Structure 1
């Protein structure tokens, strides 16, 4: 009986929804995601056409080009068509998976995205795992010892780093640990993903060496949000009656925290994890640019400088889709953890 009374909140939180309520909830969320993706498709087309500059003239590299040659370039890329015609062509092709041809690379946009995506996933995936684990661990410890020196230090440092711009922190790390500052020698590469000329295990070590500073930058900036949400959720649970009952039955504080308080406090953190997963992919642009990492962020920066409209639009669609899909997954999983959601 003691075990059932103590674990009842956890069991209720994990009981799946039944009946027709959850399928309707799923359908509503999926429909909202589709509408959001269509809105992104439309917004991306018109938004980047406000960027000043002529992509055709930029591609010529300042060389003297006749009006006939410029007109031929515009016909080649469809820039001579009316805006509404360009828009309908873009939407029709995008819905079939054709994101157009890059102006500067003269290759399909989807090929450039596919080429750069693994590099971004390596960087963001490594950082995501580290800052999520670090934030949840420190958030749990801070909540259980709230008000003490360790809690104040953890919370203060998390708030400080969370407010620091990622590009500024990245530049600072490059100055101190890549270039070297005073007695500190340059320990890491200033940018890129590899030094070249290495194979096998030496190549893996080289990539990991280049990965250190950009990962530290992302972890330092992002872990604070997970820490603060986990801490706040756990503090809300700590006054619950079932925890008081568990302590009264003689369970150690460590078991009360790990087996009962933390599982119920993780509901907001689970949502945040999915949101952060999508946001990290979209928000890595500055970090990849600072560290010259050959991923989607660096590719987006290159495309903006032209502007390479098909490539910019395709990357914008990928970034926005990552956020929308992860938000939708969080919405779908939350009712399975807490049946009160979606009623």
Structure 2
């Protein structure tokens, strides 16, 4: 005996096109949302190009004289160097050349290293990604966990201690905290011996597993500095978001169904409190490319942060501008990615 298909009613025939129309409208709304975010990112990047050109030209110092490294150079030689690097051109012409080259991926040549800026960035990126990427993953996870705990038991001793310690570390300058760690754990104080290197990324001469252990040994103090100084941001944002959710009716309904408190927190409260924290986490991921200038300088870490400090001391304008674009571009990219994945967590976004 065969089973016949259920008859299609006129109401169902009308509902199907309506559902398809709603889906199409939702897709168009999302595409418009994406286009708006991408347009905003393009405008932000253009603003970064303008800012990076004019901002760093107010830094005191003559880059051409700095390139001579203190040697006596006559006026004709200085003029030749200015012509070579285009510094004798009117400011508006320097700007148009700079924007045109930057849009084609040419960030110029470094004055002090006499190498393309992009090559210098490629050389230093791995060290910065290793150091800052490790720190971002650790302090984001730590902040999410402690922020959730602090909010769920807000007002208790754990909440007060966690928040107080986080705010204390957040208010401490990165470089000062790094120098304290060097004093206590690298140099040693009294009977306490130095346990970790004072700086650098490796001791040299190691290969294979011994090289990995050596790099990790050098990473401990700079990573600890970044984690201690930065986890408070994630903790405070997560705590505030979760506190806003805790009085919601859906949590009361979940408890009324007999769900354990732990399940109510993990399955209902935390996912709905994550949106603001997602933005912060992705901004922190953008921070990976920038690294931390002060921490890398204090620990002599061979990354982009240390390179930026060297460029500022000259001033090496092409290198400063190129690094500034890399830093800001990574932040803009991660912000756009965060905006684009928002609808996965909250379907109301983008409609």
**TM-score of the two chains, using structure 2 as the length reference:** 0.90
Of residues 60, 69, 81 in structure 1, which corresponds to 2:68?
60
User: Shift in Å at residue 342 of structure 1?
Assistant: 4.3
In the alignment, is the contact (CA less than 8 A) between 2:291 and 2:304 conserved in 1?
no
Of residues 325, 333, 343 in structure 2, which corresponds to 1:325?
333
Is the counterpart of residue 34 in structure 1 residue 64 in structure 2?
no
Q: Provide the secondary structure at the position in 2 that maps to 1:97.
A: coil
User: Shift in Å at residue 252 of structure 1?
Assistant: 1.5
In the alignment, the residues of structure 1 paired with residue 49 and residue 134 of structure 2 have an alpha-carbon distance, to the nearest angstrom, of 29
In the alignment, is the contact (CA less than 8 A) between 2:109 and 2:116 conserved in 1?
yes
Of residues 124, 140, 158 in structure 1, which corresponds to 2:132?
124
1:292-311 residue pairs with structure 2 within 5 A?
292-311=300-319
Is the counterpart of residue 164 in structure 1 residue 180 in structure 2?
no
Of residues 244, 265, 278 in structure 1, which corresponds to 2:273?
265
Deviations 1:231-290 (A, max 9, x none): 111122222222222222222111121122111111211111112222354361111111
Q: Provide the secondary structure at the position in 1 that maps to 2:199.
A: coil
1:237-248 residue pairs with structure 2 within 5 A?
237-248=245-256
The aligned counterpart of 1:110 is 118
Runs of 4+ in 1 over 6 A off after TM superposition: none
Q: Provide the secondary structure at the position in 1 that maps to 2:27.
A: coil
User: Shift in Å at residue 212 of structure 1?
Assistant: 0.6
State the number of aligned residues.
328
In the alignment, the residues of structure 2 paired with residue 271 and residue 88 of structure 1 have an alpha-carbon distance, to the nearest angstrom, of 34
The aligned counterpart of 2:79 is 71
In the alignment, the residues of structure 1 paired with residue 130 and residue 37 of structure 2 have an alpha-carbon distance, to the nearest angstrom, of 29
Q: Provide the secondary structure at the position in 2 that maps to 1:294.
A: coil
Q: Provide the secondary structure at the position in 2 that maps to 1:326.
A: helix
The aligned counterpart of 1:274 is 282
Bigger RCO of structures 1 and 2 (CA < 8 A, at least 6 apart): 1
The aligned counterpart of 1:21 is 29
1:141-290 residue pairs with structure 2 within 5 A?
141-282=149-290, 284-290=292-298
In structure 2, the CA distance between the partners of 1:283 and 1:294, relative to structure 1 (3 Å rule), is: closer
Deviations 1:13-44 (A, max 9, x none): xx9x9331111111111101101101111111
5+ residue gaps in structure 2? 1-22
In the alignment, the residues of structure 2 paired with residue 211 and residue 283 of structure 1 have an alpha-carbon distance, to the nearest angstrom, of 13
In the alignment, the residues of structure 1 paired with residue 98 and residue 250 of structure 2 have an alpha-carbon distance, to the nearest angstrom, of 57
Q: Provide the secondary structure at the position in 1 that maps to 2:86.
A: coil
Q: Provide the secondary structure at the position in 2 that maps to 1:20.
A: helix
The aligned counterpart of 2:346 is 338
177-186 vs 333-342, which moves further: 333-342
Of residues 127, 132, 142 in structure 2, which corresponds to 1:134?
142
User: Shift in Å at residue 183 of structure 1?
Assistant: 2.3
In the alignment, the residues of structure 2 paired with residue 90 and residue 247 of structure 1 have an alpha-carbon distance, to the nearest angstrom, of 61
The aligned counterpart of 2:95 is 87
In the alignment, the residues of structure 1 paired with residue 100 and residue 27 of structure 2 have an alpha-carbon distance, to the nearest angstrom, of 38
**TM-score of the two chains, using structure 1 as the length reference:** 0.92
RMSD (CA atoms) = 1.6
In the alignment, is the contact (CA less than 8 A) between 2:135 and 2:224 conserved in 1?
yes
180-189 vs 113-122, which moves further: 180-189
